[in-house]
Amino acid sequence: LSGARFSFPLPRTAAIGKYRVFAVADVDGERVSDENFFTVLPVRPGQVIPDQDGTLLADGKSFFPLGLYHVSADEIASAAETGINFIQYWYWNTTSSNALASVELLKRHGLKYVFEGYAWHETVGRQCSERGLTGSPAWRGMLPLNYEMSKEYHRIVTNALAISRESLAMWYSADEASFSQLPEVKRISAYYRRRDVDHPTYTVSTGDPRVGDAADIVGFDFYNRGILRRSNALFGDILDKARAYYGPEKPIFAVPQAFGDAKNHPTETPESIRATAYLVLAHGVNGIIWYSWKESGSRKGIEGAGNNPRTARALKDVIAEIKKLVPAIAQFCKDWFAEL
């Protein structure tokens, strides 16, 4: 029974508290058993948790993230003009002198964020050092510090909770981890869970659904309108395999591209952005986070919707359309779960 998955609905009238699940099975005449534990939490201000049908609940209400990667503190207002409700947010924005002002901007524009700390960067840097590799340019020279024992990192995480609990949506455990790195990602997720039960952990995979076992929410990035020139149908296949692997209970995000009109991906058009958005919706995602708002890309130009007005306009249009569909999408998830 190794790797077997069993699902059962939890009554919505279940009282707040801790529960023990104990399972017994007969396997070829041999009695085997296993147990696990879970907690039913009260609804608290700023809380974001996955419901049992895979939808997210923010303050007890349905929440469908429509967001952007790489939104710095001074770009919050500009990015918000696209209609997003969610951003990826670097840890230095919650500890700098403008942290409180940034939080006010998040509240003003109705944005929640996923907090990305340096625990994953440290892990990758340490692994690269152990293997005699330099790592990516962003990680070169990074010391193999121990984030689990670091008072400085504890302070960063505590500050994120203290000044922005209402805007915090989730903790970013790892980005594009491989299956071999799963133990490290699980360690990072456990670190955040020990400090905060009211916000889930999030990780991103390039295609392997098993990577999502290390976090509460898994996203899949797929950039097909560039050098690789892959079919959009492959994105749908990745999402279908993930849903088959997890069933309806796991929140799955799509991370499609919004690079803009840079030279190395001339086939990205407003039409391709729209088509990809509706494709991932048709394959049952629980949120979409486009990559990205502003980023210095592959030395061939500045990438990101924030640097390309045509891309930003396309995002604004499609986000407005999707917002009208969100209630129906949430209801579909609930109906599907109820039929199982």
Higher pLDDT, 260 or 215: 215
- The pLDDT of 41-70, averaged and rounded, is 91
- The pLDDT of 206-210, averaged and rounded, is 95
Q: What is the pLDDT of residue 182?
A: 92
Q: How confident is the model at residue 295 (pLDDT cuts 50, 70, 90)?
A: confident
Q: What is the pLDDT of residue 114?
A: 92
Higher pLDDT, 172 or 232: 172
Q: How far apart are CA 137 and CA 128, in angstroms?
A: 12
Query: What token pair was written down for 142?
Result: 């990074």
Strands 252-256 and 17-27 come out as: unpaired
Q: What is the pLDDT of residue 64?
A: 96
Higher pLDDT, 336 or 216: 216
Higher pLDDT, 92 or 200: 200
- The pLDDT of 76-93, averaged and rounded, is 88
Q: What is the pLDDT of residue 128?
A: 65
Cβ(287)–Cβ(67) below 8 Å: yes
What are the helix (H) ranges across 72-181? 76-80, 99-108, 119-130, 151-164
Q: How confident is the model at residue 141 (pLDDT cuts 50, 70, 90)?
A: very low
- Long-range contacts: 37-44, Cβ < 8 Å, 24+? 39/197, 40/10, 40/14, 40/15, 40/16, 41/16, 41/197, 41/198, 42/16, 44/198
Q: What is the pLDDT of residue 158?
A: 78
Residue environment code for 168-189, b if the CB has 16+ CB neighbours within 10 A, otherwise e: bbbbbbbbbbeeebbebbbbbb
pLDDT at 176 over 70: yes
Q: What is the pLDDT of residue 4?
A: 66
The one-letter code for the residue type at 250 is K
How many percent of the chain have pLDDT more than 90?
43
pLDDT at 39 over 70: yes
Q: How confident is the model at residue 93 (pLDDT cuts 50, 70, 90)?
A: low
Cβ(245)–Cβ(283) below 8 Å: no
Q: How confident is the model at residue 248 (pLDDT cuts 50, 70, 90)?
A: confident
Q: What is the pLDDT of residue 145?
A: 53
CA distances from 301 to 114, 256, 259 (A): 27, 19, 10
Cis amide prior to 292 (ω within 30 degrees): yes
pLDDT at 137 over 60: no
pLDDT at 57 over 80: yes
Q: What are 101-126's pLDDT values in tens digits?
A: 677 888 899 999 998 887 887 777 67
Residues 6+ apart with CB under 8 A from 257: 222, 223, 224, 225, 226, 265, 268, 276, 290, 291
pLDDT at 143 over 50: no
pLDDT at 332 over 60: yes
pLDDT at 136 over 70: no
